Structure 1
Amino acid sequence: MDQNARTLPSLHLICLLLALTIAPVRAESPDGEEAPQWTTQLTTRLAQIDANYPGELGVYVKDLSSGEVVGLRDMEPWYLASTVKVAVAITLLEEVDAGRTSLNERIVLEPLDYVDGAGETNWQEPGTAVTLQYLFDQMLIHSDNTATDVLLRYLGTDTVNAMVRRVVGLGVGRITTLADVRRYAYSEFHPDAMHLAPKGLFAIRASGYGEDRVAALVQVLGVPRAEFNAPDLDAAFDRYYATGLNSAPLDQYSELWEAVARGDLLSPASATLLLSTLERIETGDDRIKAGLPSSVSFAHKTGTQHRRACNIGLATTPGQAPDEGVIIAACTRGSLNLSEAEAAFRALGEAVAESGVFAPES
């Protein structure tokens, strides 16, 4: 056998061990107690998952019953994508709890409300009156962007951001409308993109991806490509992400889930409604949930954007109260292949389940 061929497995092993050694995984226990076995096991598995993912992975896992935490780059800012919709939902339910509105209240759809994306609200004609309950369900279950922006118009983005600052602090970047996500990103090509109307946004989305989308932006804006300030989508979105909009450290943003689970933020009825709705979302079957046992309930929200993906939720076992559950939050950046991010999320779900964190205390 060739001597060089015999050294390859050893080199691979050395690289893997090096990756496991330098991966920035942390495990914490309250009051500086010795880390329990589940955190030690999960720390090792996270380093392996991180080494296998071609981009960067951020993870925050917290056992609410003990306060024990495992984190991987969780204190760095991560683009949250559609997980910001949970903040919108919480703000709406606070208004309901305060008696200032009801989920039965109706709101009329306006021509400028429409945003490309999933969900049924785009099927409704302008002038249609829909209930807040309908918008709440569409926003969370189907990740409906138009429903979200209608709710943001109704509540006010300032109100949503004030709630986040009150609960989480100042580490979360400003949450914007979903239409403005597109405007801010495309304005990195040309400032005129800040004035894009729904018709233009839909045309750009329908054009496809990559260079086809940039060409569509040229046509919609009526601006020569030579006047664009970014060479491609990667550069434009990188500049947009650098603004910090719709971004937060995972350990901080997860405090919203913890506040709901502990009953510190919403009435029992509203907290139950929110968590039960998040258990029924239709966008995350291939992410963390895919790695969890079928007996574990996962109240979660997903988010996806250019080279970014997230999944954040609260996992509980049968008979477990929300404040005894486990928060699992993860985001990725770098890879254009969404299936690679989903594989990492699925592996995370498996690793959390196999760590023993769900095992009852003896």
Structure 2
Amino acid sequence: MPGHASSRWFAASAFALLLSACQPDGPAPPALADADSDTRADAGVEHTPGEVEAPPWLNPLSADLAEVDLQTPGAMGVYVRHLGDDAGSLDLGDGEAWYLGGAVRVAVAIAVLEQVEAGALTLEETIGLREADFVDGPGSLRSHAPGEPLSIATLLERSLREGDTVATDMLVRRVGEVDLNRQVRDWIGRGFGQVTTHLQERYEAYGVLHPGVAKLDNLDMIRVQEAGDGEARMEALAAVLEVERDDLALASVEEVFEEFHETGSNAWPLEMVADMLELLVTGELLSAENTRLLLGHMRAAGPAGDGIEAGLPPGADFAWASGTGFQRACQAGVLNAAEPGHATIVVACIRDFDAPEDASQALQSVGRALAGSGLP
């Protein structure tokens, strides 16, 4: 189908299947307490599907992922990086920047904890909840009364475990968007999309439709966003603007978000997401205590059962975050994060699908493909 990403995989997938059938099963690599620098360097080496010199897990996995992509409406990008024995990376992201949505909360959390370690703030510090902080999306903070003091520790927990959009936006406000993006640039270099708040995304997306959008408040934005998909949302926006539907500059919500995604906000190349997660899990960004804190929250992320985690073996150690948007879904995580020398990083994003269930099924299939590769 137009825009489908699977064409890049098929030239190699048949050979990958043949090659994988010829590779003998070997013993599972031993778990290591730490990943040394040479191992991490090897992990960053990307291999082409079908490559004879690829690690033994890579060709079978690439073939399975090609099949998942074929069955998924829209386009899918996947990046897998394994540390330790048989280290290497598989990049099936087409080199494009994929919309992460709420999954950027991992970057926000790392930036917050870096500032804690620098003495710029503390986990005990409280921030007063404002009505202006309310935004659509998951989480329960929107039901709390304005003025309630919330600690940085509580906001981190709500953001990472519940995907609470209010908590994440409050943390961005506390560390500062400029400093946040500077910190991310210090970790992984340039080339990632600007990290913004969920609320700022709404203004960027709908601002192209009418100049009056800039004057709407956050509660207006919630009403628009929750009015439904398609034409219902456009009509809701016209209503809060008190203009005619024909006064909006674009014909459909699809066009609105096509233009928004061209801005690159909260969209990263999958390799850069993997770079950040590798630096996190190998202890190069935060102290051991704060690394454990962050990964512990990610392990408890919810609601579970609709993504990669559902396809993994029972009891698999998977620390993750996910995000969604209009015809967009993305999940990023680390398998075996407690053992950096045996960890596997995975980032999977889907766009232009027909229904949310399509994205959920694709992510679960990615989990099953990982399980079949022997990496978890």
Question: Are 2:344 and 1:326 aligned?
Answer: yes
Tell me the equivalent position of 2:35.
Answer: none
Question: Paired residue for 2:333?
Answer: 313
Matches within 5 A, 1:139-154: 139-154=159-174
Matched, 1:245 2:265: yes
Unmatched tracts of structure 2, length 5 or more: 1-5, 17-41
SS in 2 for 1:357: coil
**Residues 161 and 174 of structure 1 are in contact (CA less than 8 Å); yes or no, is this contact kept in structure 2?**
yes
Aligned to 1:178, which of 166, 180, 198?
Answer: 198
1:300 maps to what in 2? 320
Cα shift at 1:227: 2.1
Change (3 A) 1:117 1:168: same
* Shift, 1:240, TM fit: 0.2
Once the two structures are overlaid, the 10-residue window that deviates more, 109-118 or 227-236, is: 109-118
Residue 60 of structure 1 corresponds to which residue in structure 2? 79
Between the aligned partners of 1:76 and 1:127, the Cα distance in structure 2 is 42
Q: CA deviation at 1:344?
A: 0.9
Could you say if the C-alpha distance between residues 96 and 230 of structure 1 is closer, same or farther in structure 2, counting changes exceeding 3 Å? Answer: same
Is 2:232 the partner of 1:212?
yes
Is 1:46 paired with 2:76? no
- Aligned-residue offset at 1:350: 0.7
1:46 CA displacement: 1.1
Identify which range, 195-204 or 244-253, moves more after superposition: 195-204
Matched ranges for 1:91-240 at <5 A: 91-240=111-260
Aligned to 2:373: 355
Q: 1:185 to 1:31 in 2, by over 3 A?
A: closer
Q: 1:11 matched to which residue of 2?
A: none
The amino acid of 1:64's aligned partner reads L
Q: Extract unaligned runs of 5+ from structure 1.
A: 1-16
C-alpha displacement of 1:323 = 4.3
1:112, 1:26 → 2: CA distance? 55
2:102 alignment partner, SS class: helix
- What's the secondary structure of 1:126's corresponding residue? coil
Instruction: Look up the match of 1:272.
Output: 292
Q: Distance in 2 between matches of 1:21 and 1:87?
A: 33
Does the 8 A contact of 1:313 with 1:329 survive in 2?
Answer: yes
1:62 Cα deviation from its structure 2 partner = 0.5
Could you list the per-position Cα deviations for residues 109-136 of structure 1 after superposition, in whole angstroms to 9, with x for gaps in the alignment? 1231111222121122111111111111
Separation (CA, whole Å) in 2 of partners of 1:184 and 1:50: 30
Indicate if the aligned counterparts of 1:168 and 1:255 stay in contact, CA closer than 8 A.
yes
* Letter aligned with residue 108 of structure 1: G
Is contact 1:175–1:245 with CA below 8 Å preserved after alignment?
A: yes
Whole-angstrom CA distance in 2 between matches of 1:283 and 1:175: 23
Q: CA separation of 1:295/1:191 partners in 2, compared to 1, >3 Å: closer, same or farther?
A: same
CA distance in 1 between counterparts of 2:7 and 2:103 reads: 33
| Structure 2 Cα separation of the partners of residues 311 and 205 of structure 1 | 22
Percentage of pairs with the same residue: 35
1:63 is matched by which residue type in structure 2? H
Q: Distance in 1 between matches of 2:46 and 2:349?
A: 28
Change in Cα spacing, 1:217 to 1:36, as seen in structure 2 (3 Å) is same
Q: Structure 1 pair 160/19, CA: closer, same or farther in 2 (3 Å)?
A: closer
1:81 corresponds to 2:104: no
Whether the 8 Å contact between 2:192 and 2:269 is mirrored in structure 1 is yes
Do the aligned residues in 2 keep the contact of 1:259 with 1:265 (CA within 8 Å)?
A: yes
Tell me how far apart the structure 2 counterparts of residues 19 and 253 of structure 1 sit (CA, whole Å): 21
1:21 is matched with which residue? Answer: 10
Contact 2:46 2:89 in 1 (8 A): no
2:24 paired with 1:35: no
Aligned partner of residue 254 in structure 1, secondary structure: helix
Aligned to 2:39: none
Instruction: Kindly tell me the number of residue pairs found equivalent between the two proteins.
Output: 340
* Alpha-carbon distance between aligned partners in 2 of 1:193 and 1:26, rounded to the nearest angstrom: 52
The answer to whether the 8 A contact 1:26-1:71 is kept is no
Residue 285 of structure 1 corresponds to 305
Letter in 1 for 2:361: A
Single out whichever of 199-208 and 129-138 deviates more from structure 2: 199-208
What corresponds to 1:342 in structure 2? 360
Following superposition, the deviation at residue 25 of structure 1 comes to 11
Contact 2:126 2:149 in 1 (8 A): yes
